[in-house]
Amino acid sequence: MSEIHSIMITNRQGKTLSVQINGPENAPAIVFSNSLGTDHGMWQPQVAALKSQYRVVTYDTRGHGQSDVIENTTLQNLGEDVLDILDALNIEKAHFCGISMGGMTALWLGIYQAARFYSITVANSAAKIWTEDGWNARAEAVEANGLADLVASTHTRWFSDKFDYKNDNLAQKTIQSLADTPAQGYANACRALAKADVREKLASISIPTLIIAGSADPVTTITDGEFMQQHIQCSQFEVIDASHLSNIEQPEKFIQIFSGFVKSIQ
């Protein structure tokens, strides 16, 4: 079978995750992981560009999109969900690319489950994002008031001033996906990020690692990317002229850098 649009898998906690598969079944696998407050749809340009040569897997991170909201979420849970998806699809080994929250998932997988991956790509992320107090305060605010305030201001964090996000269909869909994210799912992910800190473990990553930063990213900065590169031995660092969602703001450049990296490994 060359293309499956969407399936539901059950993770080790007995909860349901929404997974999408495109491309030939016997091709090398690539898994893409979404950012906080988005869903699998944010990867549309990358899926379209790569599905002829790869088995491309996207999924809605727990608490996002069509996946279950799961209490007491940790970074380890986010990583184990990926392993459960690979097992459900009978994928022994894959390339993994995550952005923002998905980038932290990539780091966890590179540290603790490297044998399952040819490579990891850490886009617009950091070994520690923001502060524990900041994330916990945001979680409480979202639980109390919903996501409307964040939706209204999110374009200032996700996209740079020079990007015409109002006339970009995918950018608009991605902002809408934030509006559609369950408030409790978003809050649970905030609490996972509050505790997530892998700075002391970066040196243990031994598989090929691509680090991508956005030159105008106010959330996860070039300095964050440089820190990861300095501590991960088999890593390369690229900067894209974009803000936080570089794969949407500069899809062609993102695909060029990422596909070149993946091809260099095989």
Q: What is the pLDDT of residue 118?
A: 98
CA distance 9 to 18: 7
Alpha helices in the chain (DSSP H): 44-50, 75-88, 101-112, 132-145, 148-153, 155-158, 169-180, 183-195, 222-231, 246-249, 251-265
Burial of 133: CB neighbours in 10 Å, binned 0-12, 13-18, 19+: exposed
pLDDT band (50, 70, 90) for residue 170: very high
What mean pLDDT, rounded, does the chain reach? 97
Q: Which residue do the tokens 């660092």 mark?
A: 237
What does DSSP say about strands 29-33 and 16-22: parallel, antiparallel, or unpaired? unpaired
pLDDT band (50, 70, 90) for residue 204: very high
DSSP three-state, residue 58: strand
CB 15 within 8 A of CB 78: no
| 41, pLDDT greater than 90 | yes
So where are the chain's domains? 3-265
The CATH homologous superfamily to which domain 3-265 belongs is Alpha/Beta hydrolase fold, catalytic domain (3.40.50.1820)
Rg, Å, the chain Cα set: 17
What does DSSP say about strands 55-59 and 16-22: parallel, antiparallel, or unpaired? antiparallel
| 4, pLDDT greater than 70 | no
Give residue-wise pLDDT tens across range 137-154: 999 999 999 999 999 999
Q: What is the pLDDT of residue 1?
A: 41
